[in-house]
Amino acid sequence: MAESERRAGNSEEMAPPLQQNFMIPRKEINMVSDMGKWKHSQAYADYMGFILTLNEGVRGRKLTCEYNVSEPIEKLVALLNTLDRWIDETPPVDQPSRFGNKAFRTWYAKLDQEAENLVATVIPKHLADAAPEVAVYLKESVGNSTRIDYGTGHEAAFAAFLCCLCKIGVLRVDDQMAIVFKVFNRYLEVMRKLQKTYRMEPAGSQGVWGLDDFQFLPFIWGSSQLIDHPNLEPRHFVDEKVVNENHKDFMFLECILFITEMKTGPFAEHSNQLWNISAVPSWSKVNQGLIRMYKAECLEKFPVIQHFKFGSLLPIQPVTS
């Protein structure tokens, strides 16, 4: 059989190898004065473009709607299911401190060891060289094993992980809804389980002045889902009955449900920022406001971005286009 025929039979081998020198991503933002480099970087432009593209992609759609589920999406869900299974296999240990259960370090050590192999299950053989670079973002996305904490910087690393998979062509334009509804939503479930199981501390939390102790992106994409909803308005998300009846359809309400499970006392006291948002007249205004807040409170804050890593796929070099 001719080489060309044999290659045609295997779609995985058909794509030409990427003309790209992959590299292990590293820290580039070492002091506050470096923040300008980040805001003008190709990485920032690509990352923000990715977030906004997905924001449009899920607009007005329910989590339960029909959408295309490609093979890479299924492989990513399987990867997250593996992380979930490892939590079950690594129960919390008895320790004097209430927070930051040390068993998280055991769980994390397993991910640290296996991350490249896990990523290799998602990407085709001709892109194998990308696995070490992409795997760094996966390892950064689950929390810090020294401090046993988790926050929006870790969440951003997971979005960066997905963005890299788009940049190498593993995920495609018609995967948009599945990226948010299937992969990111599964990621959130696993992170909530980690947070609960190992009692992780919120990283860099602003306490009552922050939007949420742990996440931000599901509020952005979740508010986009609700734009032009015939009867759910922002004022309704503080109503327990509305949340209980609709949380399976909308990411935003799923987040609210988790907060009310984890926190006690009046909503206006433990989640003041969200309480204020419930007074905004429309979901499109909420969505626009959250995007602005995300840039200001997460992407433009040195304590968050100092941990971000830059490689060949998300480069620190100034934006070219």
Determine, yes or no, domain membership for 117. Answer: yes
Domains contained in the chain, number: 1
Q: Is residue 5 part of a domain?
A: no
Q: How confident is the model at residue 7 (pLDDT cuts 50, 70, 90)?
A: very low
313 lies in some domain? no
Q: Is residue 169 part of a domain?
A: yes
| Residue 98, pLDDT score | 82
- pLDDT at residue 206, rounded to an integer: 63
Considering the domain boundaries, does residue 298 fall inside one? yes
CATH number at residue 131: 1.20.120.1150
How many CB atoms within 10 Å of residue 187? 24
In terms of residue numbers, what domain contains 240? 29-304
Q: Which residue type is seen at 52?
A: L
- Structural domain includes residue 12: no
Locate 274 and state its tokens: 């969200």
Q: What is the pLDDT of residue 82?
A: 98
Domain assignment of residue 311, yes or no: no
Burial (0-12, 13-18, 19+ Cβ within 10 Å), 116:
middle
Q: Name the percent of the chain lying above pLDDT 70.
A: 92
Does residue 318 carry a pLDDT above 80? yes
Which tens digits make up the pLDDT trace of 145-166?
999 999 999 999 999 999 999 9
Averaged pLDDT for residues 58-84: 98
Contact 92, 103 (CB under 8 A): yes
- Let me know if residue 197 belongs to a domain: yes
SS3 assignment, position 310: strand
Is the per-residue pLDDT at 131 higher than 50? yes
List, for residues 178-208, the tens digit of each pLDDT value.
999 999 999 999 999 999 999 999 987 665 5
